[in-house]
Amino acid sequence: MGLARLLLVGFVLLVLGSRALVRGNAELEALMEIKASLDPENKVLTSWTGNGDPCGGSFDGVACNEHQKVANISLQGKGLSGKVPPAMAQLKCLSGLYLHYNYLTGEIPREISRLTELTDLYLDVNNLTGSIPSEIGSMASLQVLQLCYNQLNGTIPPQIGSLKKLSVLALQHNKLSGDIHGLANLQTLKRLVLGFNGFNGTFPVEIAKIPELQTLDVQNNSLSGFVPAALKKLERFNYQNNPGLCGSGFPSLRNCNNFDPNLHPNGVNPIVLIPRTPDVKTHCNQSHCSNPSKLPQAALVAGIVSVTVTLVGAGLLTFYRYRRGKQKIGSTADASDGRLSTDQSKDLYSRSASPLVCLEYSSGWDPLDDGRCGNGLSLQAPRYTLEEVESATQYFSEVNLLGRSTFLSVYKGILRDGTLVAIRSINVTSCKSEEVDFVNGLNLVTSLRHENLIRLRGVCCSKGRGECFLVYDFAPKGTLSQYLDLEDRSIQVLDWSTRVSIIKGIAEGIGYLHNGEGSKPAVVHQNISAEKILIDQQLNPLIMDSGLPKLLADDVIYSALKTSAAMGYMAPEYITTGRFTEKSDVFAYGVIIFQILSGKRLLSSSMRSAAECCSSENFIDSNLKGNFTEPEAAILGKIALRCTSELPDNRPTIFRVIEELNDWCVKCR
């Protein structure tokens, strides 16, 4: 009895105690403060709640270490529109802070420098202003500092030069100016990207002595002086658009003359010596944090590379297969492609193993890159760089995701000039495995042009991401399927004449595809459905995914067909012949006519019989409230019936349908 009471009291105390512990959780309080600052309207971080457990897995983007301390915050591309809060500094064990691709404004708080465990700081592609706080120089663990694509101004604080572990520094596309000599002290740098700023002063020749530097980008600045020839050994060195630079052996640099600075080192730009910052005592050394693993670099790299290879092996293999057949051109290019730099492998690893997505602006890889693709094929559509695609979609932010299937995702995007686009990403493992087939397919897809096909603006293929992107015009009014089965009163009911013109427009688009005259081959769409018809601002129909089967691997195409069969678009003969023909497209078109007339996605046999015996009122959408033209409805019903005939021979060609629609419209208008 006594013991039981004691146990009970003990239990109650335990419960109370643990609640007090939660209530007093400093990190939770800090997180709530951080949330209020990053997401002032509480639209994104709704999962962060004051009575929740940050380490319980329910806080979006928060990862904890084994001591239940917040170790990573990954909120890239979430549409955050607030500010980076000083309270961030209270998460003492934070090792990764990923806030890139948001709309954050304000300055980088200097308190952030108290995060002495932080290895990765990604604040790039935001709208941050002010200057880079000099205190960042005391973040002893920092390895990756990404601040590019912001509005930062001022100069690079010399203290940055004391970051002893920094391997990536990306500051491009800001408004920074001044001298960059202090950066030559960063002996661990692998990538240094400073392009598109206002850096002036002389080029720091000492940079050539950084042992493992692979990438140096200083393009579009105002640097002057002498560029050492030793920099030719870099994997990538972008120096163009600096009118004052000179050097020998670089294609677009003039030779130096006597008046160039740097050739007169007397007094000009001595190497800035930076006092070593005292080692900041780490807050996380006791029971709280495990030190970030300090495996020997080589072992780490090997591990990462092997994980990478396993995880993305399939994708890379496909790419290597693409690469075959063009080895006669540039064997050096092939060699460098086969090797993963530490940096790239880290990126790939991160992508596969954690929610973290890293930037790899430089590794945009294009199987059609001029001079590499030896087939002499040229694309009709322009090519986008990975950087443009990433920036348009805010690094494939979920807020921009329009739709996703097993092999395709579609994102909304905004190009730098403000144009709205829809970007389809196709995983390269879904593509045809032979390069020739793939490139031919891409050429076909990019050559298709018609006012009733969605316009392809350009393409981009990235080895780093293992994806190809098709950049299309954006259709603001969604897909035809959104106008079917209307229950949501916010979506407009299409009026009769609009329905007729949509039916006509789709026929014109299919007619263009099926027409094999001229240089264009006849193309069977294979997957026409209400989901594949987009509606533009003027309510014209635009067919999408035309020619896509020429790009995709066969098994991918078949798996996509299951949906179209379930929705009733698949011609009956497909089951026996297994082949798509123009007549199977006509069948699907007939189904769409019925859908447009009835306003319903799924068709019933009573609809067919109503169309057969001309009782239009029994199959026309009741949302029209009788506002339609009976004879027109009867004619369209008849066309739909013939298009969906059981036997392909009984179906009209699309050209015949177009003729009938045109004849009739001459008569009826």
Ligand X SMILES: *[C@@H]1O[C@H](CO)[C@@H](O)[C@H](O)[C@H]1NC(C)=O
Kindly state the smallest distance separating residue 381's Cβ from ligand X, in Å. Answer: 22
Residue 82 binding ligand X, by CB under 6 A: no
258 binds ligand X (CB under 6 A): no
Pairing of strands 215-217, 191-193: parallel
Q: Six-digit token pair at 194?
A: 């400073």
Q: Is 70 in the site for ligand X (CB under 6 A)?
A: no
Nearest to 545 by CA among 606, 479, 498: 479
Closest to ligand X by CB, 140 vs 513, is 140
Nearer of residues 65 and 546 to ligand X, judged by Cβ: 65
Three-class DSSP category at 509: helix
DSSP-derived 3-state class of residue 424: strand
Stretch that binds ligand X, among 5-13, 58-66, 472-480, 629-637 (CB under 6 A): 58-66
Interaction of residue 381 with ligand X, rule CB under 6 A: no
Number of residues forming the site for ligand X (CB under 6 A): 24
Q: Which is nearer to ligand X, 127 or 627 (CB)?
A: 127
Amino acid, single-letter form, for residue 133: P
Closest approach of ligand X to the CB of residue 213, in Å: 23
Residue 442: Cβ-neighbour burial (10 angstroms; 0-12, 13-18, 19+):
buried
Q: Is 244 in the site for ligand X (CB under 6 A)?
A: no
Stretch that binds ligand X, among 328-336, 350-358, 489-497, 612-620 (CB under 6 A): 350-358
| Selected binder of ligand X within 49, 177, 447, 515 (CB under 6 A) | 177
127 binds ligand X (CB under 6 A): yes
**Which span sits near ligand X by CB under 6 A: 348-356, 401-409, 465-473, 538-546?**
348-356
| 352 contributes a contact to ligand X by CB under 6 A | no
Binding piece for ligand X, criterion CB under 6 A, among 63-71, 527-535, 567-575, 645-653: 63-71
Phi and psi at residue 295, to the nearest 5°: -60, 150
Characterise 276 by phi-psi region: left (phi > 0), alpha (psi -120 to 50), beta (else). beta
615 touches ligand X by CB under 6 A: no
Least separation, in Å, of the C-beta of 385 and ligand X?
A: 12
CB atoms within 10 A of CB 495: 13
Smaller CB distance to ligand X: residue 196 or 319? Answer: 196
Q: Which residues are registered as beta bridge partners of 175?
A: 153
Smallest gap from Cβ 121 to ligand X, in A, equals 12
Contacts to ligand X from residues 189-228, by CB under 6 A: 196, 200-201, 220
Contact status: 538 vs ligand X (CB under 6 A): no
Distance in angstroms between the alpha carbons of the first and the last residue of the chain: 96
Residue 330 binds ligand X (CB under 6 A): no
Structure token digits, residue 206? 């000492």
Tokens of 420: 């709205």
Rule CB under 6 A: choose which of 55, 340, 356, 439 binds ligand X. Answer: 356
Residue 92 structure tokens: 């003492």
**Residues 6 or more apart in contact with residue 578 via CB below 8 angstroms:** none
CB-based contacts of 303, cutoff 8 Å, min separation 6: 295
Q: Are strands 198-199 and 175-178 parallel, antiparallel or unpaired?
A: parallel
Write out the binding residues for ligand X, residues 439-478 only, by CB under 6 A.
none
Task: Report if residue 172 touches ligand X, rule: CB under 6 A.
Answer: no
Collapsing DSSP to helix, strand or coil, 430 comes out as: helix
Give the Å distances, CA to CA, from 432 to 311, 322, 611: 20, 10, 42
Q: Which residues bind ligand X (CB under 6 A)?
A: 63-65, 71-72, 95-96, 103, 127, 129, 153-154, 177-178, 196, 200-201, 220, 241, 285-286, 350, 354, 356
